Amino acid sequence: MDPLAAIKVTFFQECEEQLAELETGLLSMEGGDQDPEIVNAVFRAVHSIKGGAGAFSLEDLVRFSHVFETALDRIRSGAIEADQDAIKLLLRSADVLADHVRAARDGGTVDVGRSQAMAEALAALAEGDGSAETEEDTGDGFGEFEFKPVAFDMGEITAEPAPTSTTFNVRFYPQAALYQKANESALLLRELTRLGDIEVELDASGLPMLAELNPEDAYLGWTIAVTGETVTEAAVREVFEWVDGDCYLDIVQAGAAAALTPASEMSVDAMGGEVDVLALIRAAQEAEISPSPAVAISAPEPAKAKEQALDAKAQATAREASPQTIRVDLERVDRLIDLVGELVINQAMLAQRVAECGLQRASSVAVGLDDLEHLTREIQDSVMAIRAQPVKSVFQRFPRLVREIAAMTGKEVRLIMDGENTEVDKTVIERLSDPLTHMIRNAIDHGLEAPEDRVAAGKPREGVVRLAALHRSGRIVIEISDDGRGINRSRVKQIAVDKGLIAPDANLSDEEIDNLIFMAGFSTAATVSDISGRGVGMDVVRRSIQSLGGRINISSRPGQGSTFTLSLPLTLAVLDGMVVTVAGQTLVAPLTAIIESLQPKAADVRSLGPNAQVIAIRDSHVPLIDIGRSLGYRTVTPPPTEGVALLVEGEGGARAALMVDAIQGQRQVVIKSLEANYRPVPGIAAATILGDGRVALILDIDAVMVPKPHGAAATTSGADAVRPTAASDLPLAMAG
């Protein structure tokens, strides 16, 4: 990729971040937050997009963001008030701006009419105070910025410069490579003198005594204050262009608290001449919040080693900048995860070999192996944490979706989001987008009533859709709820009967009726709407959630609304499991589902009909399911007293005791997809490779808890009718 293309990619990545920032800010304003910093943040987001777009000559994007920015600036300066109507307009404008960004990135087009209308509305908003004072608009939006100066003190550093002087503090720490490539610090410092007056402070705190000195290594660093009327960050940066990767470089405008992150440096670079203004704005705003001292380099001390000096530099950077980040190709992370997965398997194999050698637990080899196991686990957790991302990246798409669906359906909707910072594996996040989109559409289209109906029912005109994410028992739970009419159970049941999905005389509980909407082809919409699709939605939603190893439940109260609850694994790569033996096979039961294990006593086991058994566990009876028979490993169930029962709890809270022959132990296993490597198998979620190199199947607890029909007679039960029995309906948890 050529350098410009690479910068462009970064620009668009940053645009996405700025758009998210913009939307978050506008939503806060909509919620009544009066903090001026929010308006500033919103303004900065649009301003940054405009600046970068200008550098790439993305004219449509520049033009729209310019009009948008002008309106925001008028709000920022207090010239116009941001009432609810104005904020709604700004939110819709943010949607259009996002369209422009994506069109510029992907080469598509935007809805010109909509964009034009929005631009006109924004222009009208900007002139909303009725004053004749309008900015001089050249029409193309390039080059000019309406910047209102805000007073801030640069005096300490600039030593009373001329009013238009600017000071940049440059921290420059050359590395050995800089000198090895025949570059020279002195020349760089001399170049800086061409930009303006410089004040140089030498940092020799990392310099060792002669005996420890490697004369070709680099130990010195400098802080240089460059002051001049024409000095810009871009110009300063240009001086160091040739030594970019061979030195530590930090350029901060005097008075600005925050150092630019490497990523934003790139886009600022790309903005060329505009950087001054942008930096000034930032400086002014930061100065308003906290007057920042100039960067302090620690006083020289004789015994300081170079590492300590570097550490001090790192700490200084950490103090003044937000957490540093780097962008890494996902492929590299995935490769790392795959390798760590192999490491875990390898470590398990090694442990098995050692165990087979009959070494004592206290032997140094076994102890060393334990340490290795801990280390492996830590590495695995750390690597998985790299992939963990806040669900915010998915959630942030929904405010726009809600606005658009509300507009299409004529309903008034407020979206409340909770727990956006809950983290989950990136793969899970990516695959959550479609099902959540569908469910939110459904909640508005089918769940919420029209405003008049709501008023008639004694509810506020505005319906509420709530989207919440939280961690619970090692899984992520996502709830989508609405305060609409709830599920009309008699209608749902009637439709299911009409479509032949259930027997007319089926006796279903409320929960079972609610779950009918997940059946393939079920649709309650009298007319197929543009919004909710063709009634295959909830079936598809359930399948996609199940393909993530997740479960979906619904609860509904007539007249009060419905809640869909998704429960998903945090990662699709590893699992803590109980390794068990069943009919000579080794299986893994997910530990999160197991409540306890016990040895059944004959007196506690009761037969229920010819094929079913229950077991009494502390005053309650739960189904006793023989895994060997359930999975078809054997046809005759051995006496329960000869095996071990695992008391498990399914996603819906139902419990069952799973009979296995023996427990081998508890182990962390790396999940390997059966679907990708073989094919879906009923009752099995995935597979793994054990320490002895054999493949073991991972049980799908919820699937094996469902009793299989025994003969045709059993299928008349309503409960069975709504449960998946076909192989394609059974869930599989997958990983790469």
Contact positions toward other proteins, by CB under 8 A? 174, 179-180, 182, 184-186, 189-190, 193, 200-202, 204, 207-211, 213, 215-216, 218-220, 222, 300-303
Q: How far is the CB of 61 from other proteins (least distance, A)?
A: 44
Q: How far is the CB of 172 from other proteins (least distance, A)?
A: 10
344 CB contacts (<8 Å, ≥6 apart)? 376, 380, 574, 668, 670
Q: How far is the CB of 320 from other proteins (least distance, A)?
A: 22
Closest CA to 641 of 611, 613, 683: 613
Q: How far is the CB of 302 from other proteins (least distance, A)?
A: 3
* Cα–Cα dist 478/688, whole Å: 27
Q: How far is the CB of 192 from other proteins (least distance, A)?
A: 9
* Cα–Cα dist 669/537, whole Å: 34
Q: How far is the CB of 298 from other proteins (least distance, A)?
A: 12
Residue 626: other Cβ atoms inside 10 A? 25
Is the Cβ of residue 303 or residue 326 nearer to other proteins in the bound state? 303
Is the Cβ of residue 203 or residue 651 nearer to other proteins in the bound state? 203
Residue 169: other Cβ atoms inside 10 A? 23
- Sheet of strand 247-253, all strands in order from the earlier edge strand to the far edge: 197-203, 221-228, 166-174, 247-253
Q: Are 670 and 574 in contact (CB under 8 A)?
A: yes
Which is it for the CA torsion 176, 178, 180, 183, positive or negative? Answer: negative
| DSSP three-state, residue 40 | helix
Is the Cβ of residue 172 or residue 395 nearer to other proteins in the bound state? 172
Is the Cβ of residue 207 or residue 573 nearer to other proteins in the bound state? 207
Is the Cβ of residue 312 or residue 384 nearer to other proteins in the bound state? 312
* Cα–Cα dist 370/366, whole Å: 6
Phi, psi of 663 (to 5 degrees): -105, 130
Residues paired with 418 in a beta bridge = 468
Q: How far is the CB of 184 from other proteins (least distance, A)?
A: 5
Q: What angle do CA 40, 91, 53 make, to 5 degrees?
A: 65
* Cα–Cα dist 420/20, whole Å: 12
Is the Cβ of residue 213 or residue 470 nearer to other proteins in the bound state? 213
Q: How far is the CB of 209 from other proteins (least distance, A)?
A: 5
How far apart, in Å, do the first and last CA atoms of the chain sit? 28
Q: How far is the CB of 228 from other proteins (least distance, A)?
A: 17
Is the Cβ of residue 126 or residue 297 nearer to other proteins in the bound state? 297
Is the Cβ of residue 217 or residue 311 nearer to other proteins in the bound state? 217
Is the Cβ of residue 184 or residue 452 nearer to other proteins in the bound state? 184
* Cα–Cα dist 601/588, whole Å: 24
State the burial class of residue 560 (Cβ atoms within 10 Å of its Cβ: 0-12, 13-18, 19+): middle
Is the Cβ of residue 207 or residue 283 nearer to other proteins in the bound state? 207
* Cα–Cα dist 639/628, whole Å: 12
Q: How far is the CB of 265 from other proteins (least distance, A)?
A: 24
Q: How far is the CB of 569 from other proteins (least distance, A)?
A: 54
Q: How far is CA 531 from CA 432, 487, 516, 527, 534, in A?
A: 18, 18, 21, 11, 9
* Cα–Cα dist 330/386, whole Å: 10
Q: How far is the CB of 168 from other proteins (least distance, A)?
A: 16
* Cα–Cα dist 380/425, whole Å: 13
Q: Are 79 and 129 in contact (CB under 8 A)?
A: yes
Is the Cβ of residue 192 or residue 580 nearer to other proteins in the bound state? 192
* Cα–Cα dist 670/341, whole Å: 6
* Cα–Cα dist 396/732, whole Å: 28
Which is it for the CA torsion 336, 341, 346, 351, positive or negative? Answer: positive
Is the Cβ of residue 243 or residue 348 nearer to other proteins in the bound state? 243
Is the Cβ of residue 301 or residue 498 nearer to other proteins in the bound state? 301
- Sheet of strand 644-649, all strands in order from the earlier edge strand to the far edge: 594-598, 644-649, 655-660, 620-626, 612-617, 605-608
Strands 585-590 and 695-699: parallel
Q: How far is the CB of 162 from other proteins (least distance, A)?
A: 24
Q: What angle do CA 506, 508, 511 make, to 5 degrees?
A: 155
Is the Cβ of residue 236 or residue 614 nearer to other proteins in the bound state? 236
Is the Cβ of residue 81 or residue 311 nearer to other proteins in the bound state? 311
Q: How far is the CB of 180 from other proteins (least distance, A)?
A: 7
* Cα–Cα dist 395/398, whole Å: 6
Q: What's the number of CA atoms in the CB half-sphere (13 Å) around residue 457?
A: 20
Q: How far is the CB of 475 from other proteins (least distance, A)?
A: 56
Is the Cβ of residue 134 or residue 180 nearer to other proteins in the bound state? 180
Q: How far is the CB of 41 from other proteins (least distance, A)?
A: 38
| DSSP three-state, residue 647 | strand
Residue 390: other Cβ atoms inside 10 A? 16
